Chains A and B, each alone.
Chain A
């Protein structure tokens, strides 16, 4: 086998699509050709880069709903009728709740929460508060919170090659105690604050289920609500990279 054929079979090799006889010829060639071995290492590395950094962009839920309604809309309409009727009402209710919450939040909630999470993150960066549990294994970090908070922070994301789990600590945001998971990306530290949503006057009452990253005092912040918990990610990472971590945390739930 020559170099051209061997190289054109790199990807088939990675996908396990080479017939045994050809595979043997390819392996023989690679054993005697350092240039092709080096070229194959590059191909394997590129595949890893693409697997890790080019995630599949799933269709948004709204698009799925639109297409299903348009193209499968005649199916089981009677069975789905109550759901279809409920959708506009739910949208109106959610929009009202969101707007009402947002205006309340602007008055008393969001700004306070944002300021507090940035302050807490800054205190950690300045060494004023230290990590209380230092571990890269979520199975060590999560149990550490048990008994120290009146809630169990629901975080399933264990960190990965891009966002390493470093440890955790407990902090206070306003009148509430919050769990703080700390991740690292390159030289950047990232704080993930998790705390239960509180009533109408609480600082987290107005949090929407998702929103784009904001920037405050040079720090990127991504905040969202999931069930009865509020989540705040804070870092000096750029907003898109922090947003990507938020997606991974949300996807892991």
Chain B
């Protein structure tokens, strides 16, 4: 366990944790959809992490640990604000067996805009949005499983289905359906 004695202002732990600030902020921004909420989430994440430093196991993945704290904070806030579960579709519902189906059509990077993509991301249930964002951060299955609190063996199918849902939301931007032949 990380020693309290080492955990001061000059702590290498704090320095290393703060090196993930940009990654955490980007995750928070796309989770919450709001710049101010993202700032608050990141600040509270660091406050909680530094207060609970004994719970971090040296040698384990610090980035995944911080992401997990941030996501749990986001879920707690959402529950408090809405007074209910975070999404109608739980992540367990994504964990189906069988050949994963794919939506028809391929989104065209030249037809879609950033606003469209961000709107589609925000329309995804939180667990799906989270797993897509974690993959974009370059995390592997084990890291994603740590953050999501699920078995590592289910990550691939969850991620595939989350991306399929995103493609479904963006299907109007497939070349065959583009208006005016743009």
Which A residues are closer than 8 A to B by beta carbons? 2-4, 7-12, 15, 17, 38-39, 41-43, 45-46, 48-50, 52-60, 63-64, 66-68, 71-75, 161-162, 186-187, 238, 240-241, 244
With A63-B42, A71-B9 known as contacts, the answer to whether A8 contacts B100 (CB < 8 A) is: yes
Is B167 in contact with A42, judged by CB distance below 8 angstroms?
A: yes
13 intermolecular pairs with C-beta atoms under 8 Å apart: A42-B103, A42-B106, A42-B107, A43-B102, A56-B22, A59-B21, A60-B35, A67-B21, A71-B14, A71-B18, A72-B14, A162-B114, A241-B114
With A63-B39, A241-B115 known as contacts, the answer to whether A49 contacts B109 (CB < 8 A) is: yes
B97 (CB) vs chain A CBs: closest residue: A4
Judged by a CB distance under 8 angstroms, whether B82 is at the interface is no
From B22, B109, B156, give the contact of A161 (CB < 8 A).
B109
Q: What is the total of A-B residue contacts with beta carbons within 8 Å?
A: 130
A41 (CB) vs chain B CBs: closest residue: B106
Which B residues are closer than 8 A to A by beta carbons? 8-10, 14-15, 18, 21-26, 29-30, 35, 38-39, 42-43, 46, 50, 98-100, 102-103, 105-110, 112-118, 121, 132, 135-136, 138, 140, 156-157, 159-160, 163, 166-167, 170, 182
Chain A residues contacting B121 (CB-CB under 8 Å) are 54
Instruction: Provide the bound-state CA to CA distance between A38 and B23, in Å.
Output: 32
Instruction: Provide the bound-state CA to CA distance between A43 and B118, in Å.
Output: 18
A50 (CB) vs chain B CBs: closest residue: B136
Is B167 in contact with A7, judged by CB distance below 8 angstroms?
A: no
Is A2 in contact with B26, judged by CB distance below 8 angstroms?
A: no
Instruction: Provide the bound-state CA to CA distance between A38 and B30, in Å.
Output: 29
Instruction: Provide the bound-state CA to CA distance between A41 and B115, in Å.
Output: 23
From A10, A49, A74, give the contact of B107 (CB < 8 A).
A49
Is A74 in contact with B9, judged by CB distance below 8 angstroms?
A: yes
Chain B nearest CB, measured from A80 CB (Å)? 12
Instruction: Provide the bound-state CA to CA distance between A21 and B75, in Å.
Output: 40
Is A57 in contact with B38, judged by CB distance below 8 angstroms?
A: yes
Chain B nearest CB, measured from A9 CB (Å)? 8
B108 (CB) vs chain A CBs: closest residue: A45
Chain A residues contacting B166 (CB-CB under 8 Å) are 46
Instruction: Provide the bound-state CA to CA distance between A2 and B99, in Å.
Output: 8
B156 (CB) vs chain A CBs: closest residue: A8
From A49, A67, A238, give the contact of B117 (CB < 8 A).
A49
